[in-house]
Amino acid sequence: MTERKTRFEIALKIESKSSESVVKKVNQLKVYLKKNFSKIIKSLTTDNGSEFSDFLGIISDTDTKIYFCHPYASCEKGTNERHNGILRYFIPKGTNIDDYSLKYINNSVNWMNNYPRKILDYKTPIEALKDEFQNEKLLNKILNIQKMVNA
């Protein structure tokens, strides 16, 4: 998941490429964020993969909106595609994700969130996030999403 404005990345390891696994992981995220879920995750843009077929289960009990890209139109979610490419530096395509520990995945995402971006005026996604969310308690909750949900 990539936050569009700040480019803050969250990579959640799911059990399988099924809608049940996605809903289960998003529900863990909802439990962790509680009432702040819709404040932080205002919308989701997905492809048309079967793992998103239960989109009502994903956004139930939230004010979060969900958008679907047109088939074969990865340009409609360019930031997400770019972040997938960066993540592939750490976890090459075709390798078994089970070979990577949660610590390794979390460290990879931490590196991404601390890498300056031209689009952010050479700020890191974490610095941009701090500018966006002035509430210290909420900011700390966001910064800990990765390790709390991927535990």
Which pLDDT tens digit goes with each residue over 35-58?
888 888 888 888 888 888 888 888
Predicted local confidence at residue 71, as pLDDT: 86
Q: What is the DSSP string of the chain?
A: -B-TTT--B-----SSSSHHHHHHHHHHHHHHHGGGHHHH--EEEE-S-GGGTTHHHHHTTS--EEEEPPTT-GGGGHHHHHHHHHHHHHS-TTS-GGGS-HHHHHHHHHHHHTS-BGGGTTB-HHHHHHHH---HHHHHHHHTHHHHHT-
Predicted local confidence at residue 58, as pLDDT: 84
Predicted local confidence at residue 85, as pLDDT: 92
| Tokens 């910064």 belong to residue | 143
Tens of pLDDT, residues 67-90: 888 888 888 888 888 998 999 999
Tens of pLDDT, residues 3-26: 888 999 998 888 888 999 999 998
Calculate what percentage of the chain has a pLDDT beyond 70: 100
If you compute the radius of gyration of the chain from its CA atoms, what whole number of angstroms results? 15
Predicted local confidence at residue 74, as pLDDT: 83
For residue 115, what are the CA distances in angstroms to 7, 38, 76?
10, 26, 23
Instruction: Identify which has the larger pLDDT, 118 or 42.
Output: 118
Q: Which long-range contacts (CB under 8 A, 24 or more apart) does 128-132 make?
A: 128/5, 128/6, 128/7, 128/8, 129/3, 129/6, 129/8, 131/6, 132/5, 132/6
Structural domains of the chain, ranges and CATH numbers in brackets? 19-149 (3.30.420)
What's the mean pLDDT in 27-36? 90
Task: Determine contact, residues 13/129, Cβ cutoff 8 Å.
Answer: no
